[in-house]
Amino acid sequence: MTSTITKRKDQYSQTAIDDEIVVMSLDSGTFFSLTGTGRSIWELLDQHSERAQLLAALAEAYGQDESAIAGEFGTFIASLSAAGLVDCR
């Protein structure tokens, strides 16, 4: 299981527009629109890199049990990783 997740800051450009963060992959030119929980996770990556800390902070922010959100959290992180926006180790 991944224990550390970090943004690959040299691989994207981002812009905040109202309640949305638009992230562009510099490799592919693909744009990602992050709102709601996706935006929260993206912003939490600036404060934490340990998977457990990220998941705990997200669960606290949304008043959820960590086990209830772990699957969707993992799926989202996997999609960021597949796009080359984060490193998972």
Reported as a single tens digit per residue, the pLDDT across 48-69 is 999 999 999 999 999 999 999 9
Q: Is the pLDDT reported for residue 2 higher than 80? A: no
pLDDT surpasses 70 at 38: yes
Which band of pLDDT confidence, cut at 50, 70 and 90, is reported for residue 1?
A: low
Q: Which helix (H) or strand (E) holds 43?
A: helix 36-44
Secondary structure (3-state) at 36: helix
Percent helix / strand / coil, the chain, rounded to 5: 45, 25, 25
Whether the full predicted model's pTM is greater than 0.85, yes or no, is yes
**CA-to-CA distance for 22 and 59, rounded, in angstroms?**
23
